[in-house]
Amino acid sequence: MTAAHKPFALPPLELPQRCRAGIGAEAASQLCLRVGRDALLEPGDLVEVFIDDRFATALIVKPEHLGRPLVFQVRNAVQQSGRVRLRYEVLRAGHYSAHSPVTLLLAKLEYPGGAPLHEGEEENQFLPPICFPRALSVRQARQHGGLPFYLPAYPNMAAGDEITVRWGDERFDLPPLLPRQVGQPVQGTIPLAALRQVRPGRWQDVTWSAVDRVGNHSRWAPCQALELPTDEEVDSGGEPTRA
């Protein structure tokens, strides 16, 4: 085999949309794949991209492509969640075809809580409301180190989900979910710093959202208005009021 006919090495595909080890629903519907400028391509090379060993798209290299990345936009290439195999081949006249290394990534097409009813809507009606204990006043919550709550299990709950709670104008994050927490209520506490801004008998807007490990965002749960009872109401059997 002469030097002119030897296979040549290729770098793996680049994925600008990668979030950690995978891609979410939006990225999967319009996948952006890139062959880096260090691929040493030549004019006339045929570049073919494969997804799970299925042909996806192709391009013939032109002089204006040299020295810059080749970008491929592939619509609806990933149809289901799971492991995805990405690679490309280069066919060059007078050479054997060259194969890039296979790039493996995780695709997750399910949104935490389920997809919102309407695209572009800020709220997701499928997310459950946060649950607070009965008969706990502002002063008692401060004595307990914060206001405890729990979040019921929600559709498409998964390990690695990052939950953000919005309490009035304050936002705070819960630790990423562990595998053993999936399918179980999530425990949390409204911190003391947020409770210092609350007066007894005053309404407080409460909501939450989740982002999974590949960037799918649940949107915000429908906002609920919570009124913590005064100490006198607690003594008489009162409880937090929602609107």
3-state secondary structure 104-115: EEEECCCCCCCC
Distance CA 13, CA 190 (A): 44
Match 């965002």 to its residue by tokens.
217
Instruction: Give the model's pLDDT for residue 191.
Output: 86
Handedness of CA 64, 69, 70, 71 (dihedral sign): negative
Per CATH, 3-107 and 138-242 having the same topology is answered: yes
pLDDT reported for residue 233: 46
For position 61, what pLDDT does the model report?
93
Distance (Å, rounded) from C-alpha 126 to C-alpha 116? 7
Tokens of 240: 């937090």
What size, in residues, is the chain?
243
Q: What does the alpha-carbon distance between residue 88 and residue 99 come to, in Å, rounded to a whole number?
A: 6
Concatenated DSSP letters of 147-206: EEEEE---TT--TT-EEEEEETTEEEEPPPPPGGGTTSPEEEEE-HHHHTT--TT-EEEE
Residue with tokens 């809580």: 113
149: left (phi over 0), alpha (psi -120 to 50) or beta: beta
Number of alpha carbons in the 13 Å side-chain half-sphere of residue 177: 26
Rounded to 5°, angle at Cα 201 from 197 and 207 = 60
Q: Give the integer Cα–Cα distance in Å for 13 and 40.
A: 14
| 3 state SS of 140 | helix
What's the pTM value of the predicted model, to 2 decimals? 0.79
Give the Å distances, CA to CA, from 71 to 33, 35, 39, 49, 61. Answer: 6, 7, 13, 11, 11
Mean pLDDT by 10 residues, the chain (243 residues): 63 90 89 88 93 92 90 88 94 86 93 82 89 73 82 95 92 95 94 72 84 94 78 48 53
> Using an 8 Å Cβ cutoff, are 223 and 165 in contact?
no
Q: Which fold has domain 3-107?
A: Immunoglobulin-like (2.60.40)
**Domains of the chain by residue range:** 3-107, 138-242
Q: What percent of the residues of the chain are helix, what percent strand, and what percent coil, each to the nearest 5?
A: 15, 35, 50
CATH 2.60.40 fits 138-242, yes or no: yes
